[in-house]
Amino acid sequence: MRVLLTGHQGYLGTVMAPVLAAAGHEVVGLDAGLFADCVLGPTPADPPGHRVDLRDITADHVAGFDAVIHLAALSNDPLGSLAPELTYDINHHASVRLARLARDAGVRRFLYASTCSVYGAAGDPDLSNLVGEDAPLRPVTPYAESKVRVEDDLHALADGDFTPVFMRNATAFGHSPRLRADIVLNNLVGHALLSGEVLVLSDGTPWRPLVHAADIARAFTAALSAPREAVHDRAFNIGSEINNVTVAEIAEQVAEAVSGAKVRITGENGADPRSYRVDFSRFRAAIPGFDCEWTVKQGALELADAYREHGLTQEDFERRFTRLAVLRAASDAGAVDDTLRWRG
């Protein structure tokens, strides 16, 4: 297939592009390049792509593709809360516009990167039940709310020729040539290497479903070529029950992966309403033979090796690999305007 991959220069997109290419697809990227320099190790070889803001795309950008994989977004809660209106402009309105342009151009499949954060505080009080795709959506942040709104609007676009698929990813972890250290496991591993401490600021009790970036890439690749009736207009949780873990458990796994590191749970950030254990069986049923390959422990070991190999510094950890810090620095330097568009 000819595939337009938005967000191809992000943490997940940089892992996904070569997986798609290896499956025989022709990939074209589209990204504003906000985090293109957030590289750990050698600069990755990106597929050909457009450097364009999602809000400025035209029909020409989507013409001639069989499918769109839409990853580009302000991609976490701190970014979303920094400027909620921008989050809705980019994550919601521009995403729906992209989908409409794609549908009008005859693109048949549209894989949307949603998130398990849409469940928010949806778990049972005792968390005894796993949260499935039909659970009520109770987003607790603008980021998660923007994802719910896109799902609603894309659902209305589904028809006999246009197949949106809602990929509700668990929180990602693991190595990518363009790294993020502001997601829980990657953060704990980096901090442990730099300080010898696995530092948990919550009380450690919230449940977090995790999934390796490479498993997300494999899941999207599988959904791309799955029979239409298996995926048409459906939501799928992407991850694995074995990686439904509490933050305290993640910390223990990290301490085992980084020798000498000690867990310290301060609890200073108090309770976190985002706590849920997720049921991932629907995607396995839709895509026979698919399962995630990576455990939390394997990901922690892999990432610790990558950080060591490429020499993680405190500066990189706090600035280069933290999305909010990168955007603040670009804004302070006058490189982007207050709508996060490049100047000049």
Ligand X SMILES: NC(=O)c1ccc[n+]([C@@H]2O[C@H](COP(=O)([O-])OP(=O)(O)OC[C@H]3O[C@@H](n4cnc5c(N)ncnc54)[C@H](O)[C@@H]3O)[C@@H](O)[C@H]2O)c1
Which residues sit at the interface with ligand X, rule CB under 6 A?
7, 9-13, 31-35, 53-55, 71-75, 90, 113, 115, 169, 171-172, 180, 183, 323
Instruction: Give SS3 for 57.
Output: coil
Whether the CB-CB separation of 103 and 63 falls below 8 Å is answered with no
CB of 160 to ligand X, least distance (A): 27
Whether the CB-CB separation of 150 and 112 falls below 8 Å is answered with yes
Residue number with CB closer to ligand X (36 or 264): 36
CB of 9 to ligand X, least distance (A): 4
Residue number with CB closer to ligand X (50 or 264): 50
Name the H helices within 128-212: 142-155, 184-195
CB of 56 to ligand X, least distance (A): 8
Q: How far apart are CA 73 and CA 241, in angstroms?
A: 26
DSSP-derived secondary structure letter, 90: I
CB of 196 to ligand X, least distance (A): 26
CB of 126 to ligand X, least distance (A): 25
Q: How far apart are CA 78 and CA 87, in angstroms?
A: 11
Best CA proximity match to 225, nearest among 16, 46, 20, 28: 20
Structure tokens at 194: 């730099």
Residue number with CB closer to ligand X (13 or 139): 13
Q: H/E element holding 235?
A: strand 235-238
Q: What is each CA distance from 167 to 64, 84, 109, 185, 231, in whole angstroms?
A: 23, 22, 13, 21, 10
Residue with the shortest CB distance to ligand X? 10
Tell me the torsion sign for CA atoms 41, 43, 46, 51. positive
Residue number with CB closer to ligand X (266 or 344): 344
CB of 84 to ligand X, least distance (A): 15
CB of 306 to ligand X, least distance (A): 16
Provide the residue type at 280 as one letter: F
Residue number with CB closer to ligand X (125 or 290): 290
Residues whose CB is less than 8 angstroms from the CB of residue 313 and which lie 6 or more positions away in sequence, other chains included: none
Residue number with CB closer to ligand X (14 or 246): 14
